[in-house]
Amino acid sequence: MNLILLGPPGAGKGTQASRLMKERGLVQLSTGDMLRAAVAAGTPVGLQAKAVMEAGELVSDEIVSGLIGERLDELGPDTPVIFDGYPRTAAQAEALDALLAARGRTLDHVIELEVDEDALVERITGRFTCANCGEGYHDRFKLPKADGVCDVCGASNFKRRADDNEATVRQRMAEYRAKTAPIIPHYEGRGIVARVDGMASMDAVAAAIDAVLGA
Ligand code: ADP
Ligand code: ADP
Ligand code: ZN
């Protein structure tokens, strides 16, 4: 199974992808996570991407499609994957078609998380993750069960993204509207697009996605 999760920043893509990874063994391919790792490691890609990401703009199509191609090759042909935050432009959607075709993979579902933009600023500015295992949390919607202790791994260090501030989020939303939402028709004709209400609770969103994916 190969699946794309689409939606603006804060829609819940990462939350749902990491759940699907735990529950169904799908592998999450997040270009955002790959780019942040490259920035942290100071690789040539990271050096090119850092300022672009801090401004809430899009990193070049060649860089992100290159990262996805590398990861697909590492995984081999049979591992089911979730594309999280990729593709984000028409050029990336075309590149992904070619990357999949060359590896004998097909896309089964494109799930769009529909959200109200006003709520996204609150989602994004309240977002934090465990610095040790990456589990995602939220100041209001998902606090750790024990104050200051990660539910999953017990660590007590958390981090927030440099680009999770209101000004950058607004720019990221504008990029989504202008460049990413227009790629949905690319998949519509194939009958694989499903829309899920991303404003529902995390569990309700999970149930709606599971209904699309089937047993
Ligand atoms: P994305 O990967 O699409 O940018 P995330 O999955 O990181 O979004 O979610 C953004 C923030 O909102 C996180 O702090 C997450 O815990 C929280 N969140 C995710 N889904 C929901 C939901 N359905 N309701 C409320 N908060 C949510
Ligand atoms: P979010 O979870 O808020 O949707 P991501 O973690 O997916 O954000 O992306 C963070 C930043 O990384 C983006 O604002 C952009 O600068 C860069 N980025 C991630 N994926 C892509 C992509 N497919 N194409 C171009 N830029 C990307
Ligand atoms: Zn943890």
Q: Ligand 1 mean position to 101 CA, how many Å?
A: 31
Helix, coil or strand: residue 197? strand
* pLDDT exceeds 90 at position 24: yes
Give the residues surrounding ligand 1 with Cβ less than 6 Å away.
7, 9-15, 123, 126-127, 136-138, 141-142, 201-202, 205
14 Cβ inside 6 Å of ligand 2: yes
Query: Can you tell me the mean pLDDT for 36-45?
Result: 96
Q: From the alpha carbon of 175, which atom of ligand 2 is closest?
A: 14
∠ CA(133), CA(121), CA(155), 5° rounding?
A: 20
Q: For position 76, what pLDDT does the model report?
A: 84
**High-pLDDT (> 70) share of the chain, %:** 100
Q: For position 215, what pLDDT does the model report?
A: 74
Average pLDDT, the chain: 96
Provide the pLDDT confidence category of residue 34 given band limits of 50, 70 and 90.
very high
pTM across the whole model? 0.95
Q: What is the pLDDT of residues 136-188, one digit of tens each?
A: 999 999 999 999 999 999 999 999 999 999 999 999 999 999 999 999 999 99
Q: What is the pLDDT of residues 187-196, one digit of tens each?
A: 999 999 999 9
Q: From the alpha carbon of 164, which atom of ligand 2 is closest?
A: 3
Peptide bond into 87 cis (omega under 30): yes
Q: Ligand 1 mean position to 123 CA, how many Å?
A: 6
Q: For position 118, what pLDDT does the model report?
A: 85
Q: From the alpha carbon of 8, which atom of ligand 2 is closest?
A: 4
Q: Which residues contact 64 (CB under 8 A, 6 or more apart)?
A: 31, 34, 35, 86, 88, 92
Query: Can you tell me the mean pLDDT for 71-97?
Result: 96
d(CA 36, CA 53): 9
* pLDDT exceeds 80 at position 54: yes
Catalytic residues: 13, 88, 127, 160, 172
Query: Can you tell me the mean pLDDT for 54-82?
Result: 96
* CB distance 212 to 196 below 8 Å: yes
* CB distance 115 to 8 below 8 Å: yes
58 Cβ inside 6 Å of ligand 2: yes
* pLDDT exceeds 90 at position 91: yes
* pLDDT exceeds 90 at position 123: yes
